[in-house]
């Protein structure tokens, strides 16, 4: 189990502050936040590429706060993969083991084993520039995993892949984690990716952790307006408009039923998205989004009635 306690890191006027964060074993944990939120700094603190100004990082009961990177039992996969261009795939993967002074036969055995797991056993003699982007990433993952780390850190692992490959690699990463029962910490700014992959999400904003929990919990019961708006599509209207008292009320487009109900709004725009349609409406001067079946036939300019599932509505 990885625990961060009272960790503080300040640089260039930005402060990351983690009072307490626990990464349980065997989970796929996704750290999610907009750019500049401090999520990469969090990963680098765990990796040891940055030292915190205060607080401690504890891995399985061992304080690793001030250990050098290579003594921490963590594996890192960099966004750009960061393979050694002058070494073969085999030598890339073997590098961490060589520096642990393991005997040669054991190095060979472990490299070949991990290469099989990552399906690159036939690429071991090649150089990185001879591989595709996806293959390079697998080499980077193999290099991180070969030393059997307690935690695998992935820094925006899908951002350098094209859209089609991204879905494929997403599935691969999750399957790999399940197969090895590994503890994975995956950093991303893409909320869809985060929800699809994470057993546990850590939403971070402005250097502070907003909420930690499984994706369905964060989606349905966000503790803050930021989490509500960052995960999925959202509507936010003054509570008065829907007869719920003072303050603001938030609800998802799928909790809006178009066609009948107590409220009225004007259709501004229709988006046909295949399995469903998304409508943008003018509701007493506030723009809201509503989801409808693909057969819905409201026209731009129409005034439609609608209702909101009040049970799922959130107050802010």
Partner 1 sequence: MRDKQILFLALPALIYLFALTVYPIADNALLSLYERTYEGAFKWVGLGNYLWLFQKDPYGPLIIGNTILYSVATPAISVALAVPIALALRRLGGRWLLPLMVPAFIPPVTAAMAWYLMLNPLYGLGYYLMRAGLMETNPISSVWTVVLVDVWRSLPTAVLVIYSGLRAIPKAVEEAALADGLAGPRKFIAVDLPLASPQILTAFILTALTGFFTFDPIYIGTAQAGPRILDNLAYYSYEAFSAGEFGYSAALIVVMTAIGTGLSLAYMKAFSARFFVKLPAPAWMPRREAPKALHYAVLALDLAFVFLPLGWLLLMSLKPPGEIIQIPPSVLPSRLDLTNYVQALGGGLPYFLMSIYISAINSVVTILLAAMAAYQMRVHGLGGGKLVAYILYLMSTPTLVYIVPLYLVVRGLNILNTLWALVLTYPIMTLPYGIWILYNYYSGFDRRTEEAALADGMSRLKAFAKVVIPLSRSGMGVAGLYAFLFSWGALIFPLAFTYTPYNLADPLRFSGAQTFSIYIGELMSPVAMSYGGVAATGILSAIPPLIYLIAVRRNLEKIWGAG
Q: Provide the binding-site residues for partner 1, judged by CB under 8 A.
A: 47-49, 68-70, 74-76, 78-87, 95-96, 98-101, 129, 143-144
Q: Quick one: which of 119, 114, 113, 139 has its CA closest to 128?
A: 139
Task: Judge residue 228's burial from the number of C-beta atoms within 10 Å of its C-beta, 0-12 exposed, 13-18 middle, 19 or more buried.
Answer: buried
| Helical pair 104-117 and 133-145, crossing angle rounded to 10 deg | 130
Q: Quick one: which of 106, 88, 93 has its CA closest to 145?
A: 93
From residue 248, alpha-carbon distances to 126, 238, 254 in Å are 59, 4, 18
Q: Which residues contact 194 (CB under 8 A, 6 or more apart)?
A: 30, 32, 186, 188, 201, 215
Q: 96 vs 222, which CB is nearer to partner 1?
A: 96
Nearest approach, Cβ of residue 149 and partner 1 (Å): 9
Nearest approach, Cβ of residue 211 and partner 1 (Å): 29
Q: Which residues contact 145 (CB under 8 A, 6 or more apart)?
A: 75, 114, 117, 118, 152, 180, 182
Nearest approach, Cβ of residue 214 and partner 1 (Å): 30
Q: Quick one: which of 104, 124, 101 has its CA closest to 114?
A: 124
Nearest approach, Cβ of residue 281 and partner 1 (Å): 41
Q: 74 vs 197, which CB is nearer to partner 1?
A: 74
Q: Which residues pair with 303 in a beta bridge?
A: 266
Q: 67 vs 241, which CB is nearer to partner 1?
A: 67
Nearest approach, Cβ of residue 81 and partner 1 (Å): 8
Q: 51 vs 269, which CB is nearer to partner 1?
A: 51
Parallel, antiparallel, or unpaired for β 28-32 and 200-205? parallel
Q: 76 vs 209, which CB is nearer to partner 1?
A: 76
Q: 140 vs 204, which CB is nearer to partner 1?
A: 140
Nearest approach, Cβ of residue 276 and partner 1 (Å): 40
């Amino acid at each position: 189990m990885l625990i961060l306690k009272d960790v503080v890191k300040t640089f260039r006027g930005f402060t990351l502050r983690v009072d307490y964060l626990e990464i349980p074993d065997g989970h796929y944990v996704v750290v999610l936040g907009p750019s500049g939120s401090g999520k990469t700094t969090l990963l680098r603190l765990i990796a040891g590429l940055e030292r915190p100004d205060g607080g401690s990082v504890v891995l399985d009961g061992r304080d690793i706060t001030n250990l050098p990177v290579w003594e921490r039992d963590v594996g890192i996969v960099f966004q750009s993969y960061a393979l050694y261009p002058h070494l073969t795939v085999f030598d890339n993967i073997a590098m961490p083991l060589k520096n642990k002074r393991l005997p040669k036969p054991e190095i060979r055995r472990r490299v070949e084993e991990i290469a099989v797991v990552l399906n690159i056993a036939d690429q071991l003699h090649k150089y990185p520039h001879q591989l595709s982007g996806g293959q390079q990433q697998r080499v980077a993952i193999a290099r991180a995993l070969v030393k059997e780390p307690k935690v695998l850190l992935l820094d925006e692992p899908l951002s350098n892949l094209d859209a089609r490959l991204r879905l494929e690699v997403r599935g691969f990463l999750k399957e790999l984690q399940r197969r090895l029962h590994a503890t994975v910490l995956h950093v991303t700014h893409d909320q869809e990716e985060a929800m699809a992959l994470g057993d546990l999400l850590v939403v971070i904003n402005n250097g502070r952790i907003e909420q930690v929990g499984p994706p369905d919990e964060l989606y349905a019961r966000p503790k803050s307006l930021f989490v509500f708006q960052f995960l999925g599509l959202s509507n936010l209207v003054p509570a008065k408009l829907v007869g719920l008292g003072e303050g603001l009320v938030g609800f998802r487009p799928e909790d809006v039923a178009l066609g009948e109900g107590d409220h009225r709004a004007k259709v501004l725009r229709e988006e046909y998205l295949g399995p469903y349609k998304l409508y943008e409406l003018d509701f007493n001067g506030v723009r809201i989004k509503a989801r409808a079946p693909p057969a819905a036939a409201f026209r731009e300019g129409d005034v439609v009635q609608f209702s909101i599932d009040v049970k799922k509505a959130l107050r802010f």
